Structure 1
Amino acid sequence: MPDPVLSVHDLVQAASLTAIAATRLHCHRDIDVEASEDFEISPEYALNIAARADEAGFRILFRTSITVPIGQIACDIAAEYELDGVVLGEGSSGAMQEFVNNVAIMHILPYARQSIADLTQRVFSAPLLMPIMQRGELQFQVGMDETAD
């Protein structure tokens, strides 16, 4: 069996992004509320990670939820990664934490940003443009679920 990955450098070298897609898209407009451009947007973010049963891959699910005066927006993006020559195991938490916050989130954010702009263009008649975030601006504590299957 391959060794558990212990460093983010080794994880970056071993991980391949195999799929990325929206798993939930939701936008609701309150018809009785007048649209206004003068409101503050405070997105809420959540992130979950699940390892594959064979420990040779993992899934990251990134959730964005936004409530604005005219309605609600929700977007979930899932990224699937395969590992070559290593597995996740005890001692992989630090490497996974750094990978998620400095690598994977930068893969996922553009998909979430585009999905939210598209949804709001269709439902609110104007796109909600999420800010472009710099690496490290959004941080998550990593906890692994049992499996991603």
Structure 2
Amino acid sequence: MPRLDGRTHINLTVTDLEASTDWYCKVFEMVQVNDVTPPESGFRFRTLLHPASFASVVLGRPEHGIDGDAFSEGRVGLHHLAYHVPEREELELWVKHLDEQGVAHSGVTDSAHEAGSQIWLRDPDDIWLEFYWVNRDFFADRLRRQWRAARKSGARPW
């Protein structure tokens, strides 16, 4: 089975490349590692990398301006972007960091469905972001239940 290792990147179209670059570098402690304008793309792209995890955000600004409305998670497409933290206690460190940076956020909240805990915030383009910790025991139990039910019925579990 193909594997994923948890690292991710996402490409976000932004209205102000400088402001978004500054914000992501400050808030996520990312480092800008690339700034390119491929001729065929019509975009200027900046790649920002988190040095410890290699998670990255690629920010793009169309050369001819933004087309359409501002971001809304209520439209088809991206709802929000989430970054996993290894331990729940890490969320408290993120709260402290966000407070120090003057970034508005939800504080640590716990999921009503016992899946974990998270912090919600928005970037300069109002894109909804999340830092989250997964309650692995909850999800491991759910996977075990599916595996047992599939085994009982003779089906493949996944």
Higher strand share: 1
TM-score (norm 2): 0.28
